[in-house]
Each structure stands twice: as structure tokens, then as C-alpha cells.
Homo-oligomer: A and B are copies of this chain.
Amino acid sequence: MASRGEPPTERTRVRRLPERGAYDRPTIDAILDEALICHLGWVTDEGTPRVIPTIHARVGDTLYVHGSAASSTLRALRDGREVCLTATILDGLVLARSTFHSSMNYRSVMVYGRPRVVADRDEQLLASRAIADHVLPGRGDEARPPTDRELAQTLILALAISEASAKIRTGPPKDDGADLDLPVWAGVIPLRTVAGEPEPSPDLPPGLAPPRFSRPV
């Protein structure tokens, strides 16, 4: 795959295998939209790295993440310190004849930036709805929106998608010529995430149909 677009900064450039890098927004946005969760990293007040899994949602050029306002975890980010948000979709196991050339097929995105606290009520509602829709399209219409009291208990952060890159591996393994005659199967085992039978809440009254999980994950 040819590299698409140009890296916005040196630290977002995919250097070792540059053919895996992509910097165009359609590619980046598609990965961010498909990945159900991301991993968010930052440097704590003590100077140590911290990485947490969290749900995100994209609205145009902005990524939203949210958490409890009472949680010390996300509160550390209220001061606008830098984060690295990484979202990864696994597409397959790449089984080469050698362990050295074995790999994974994947699509990942890395976004650097300094999140801002979302304080505006309309933007808070927009972000809450986007997060519901990110997980399950249409859910933002169905679920009850947050009350003012709930919004006060929620910390929502917005991260601009201005310094981002994608890294993608596709295709079969690339074995050494000398290994081609080894009696070892080589190829790709594709992976995907599927939904099982919906499990209704014990307190759900009869007569309500479950939503369909139709996301392409």
C-alpha cells in the first residue's frame, strides 16, 4: 500500500515501514469511527505514563471522550496536558512460516493533542449523543439524554484531530524465499468482532425489541 497523504508532524510519521503509514483524513476517520474503544495515554503528575481504555466518538474534526467527574483518572486531564489517543482494529493473524515474519493485520490511528474540557451544555449533549451513536448507531435517538445533574457528574473532553496518523498492515505474510518449502501452513486467519444474542435486562418489561448491532466491526 502506498503512503497516503503527508504526516502533519515528525512524531506522527511512520518511519520504519513507511508503506504502512496513512495521513489522509478519510482513512483516519474510518478507523476512529469503526474502533469501538481507544486507549488514552498521558503523563501523570508524578511523571509516569498512564494508559486507560475508553469509549470515544468523532464529530467532524473532534474526538470526544468522557468519564466520571469524580474520577481522579480523567480529572488529571482537565489542565490541558498532552495525550496520545490510539485506536486499533485487529483484522487478522498473519502466520508466516517463520516466527520472525509473523505479524498481525491491523488498522490503527494515533492522535496527539491537548484536550479541552467541554463546558458548554449544547456541546455536552452533542458529545453524549455522539458517544451513544458511536457504540450503536441510532442509540442516541433512543436513549434518554443526560439531565443537568448527570452532566454535572460527567467530565467530557474534546480532542482536535489535527495531529494524527494511521498505520495499516494488510495482505499475506512475506516469507523468506528459503522458507517457502517448509511444511508449515502460511497465510492469514481473518478476525472480526461479532455480536451475540441480546441479553435483556432482568427488569425489562415484555414487548420491547432489542436493537440490531449493525456496526461493521
Within A94-115, which residues are at the interface with B (CB < 8 Å)?
95-100, 102, 104, 106, 108, 110, 112
Chain A interface main SS type? mixed
Residue with the greatest number of chain B CB neighbours at <10 A, chosen from A15, A36, A90, A102:
A102
Q: How large is the interface on A (under 10, 10 to 19, 20 to 34, 35 or more residues)?
A: 35 or more
With contact pairs A16-B70, A104-B37, A188-B198 given, residues A52 and B154 touching in the complex (Cβ less than 8 Å): no
- Residue in B16, B144, B188, B195 whose CB lies within 8 Å of A199: B188
Chain A contact residues, CB within 8 Å of chain B:
11, 15-16, 36-37, 39-44, 46-53, 55, 68, 70-73, 82-86, 88, 90, 92-93, 95-100, 102, 104, 106, 108, 110, 112, 128-129, 131-132, 135-136, 139-140, 142-147, 150, 153-154, 172-173, 175, 179-205, 208-211, 213
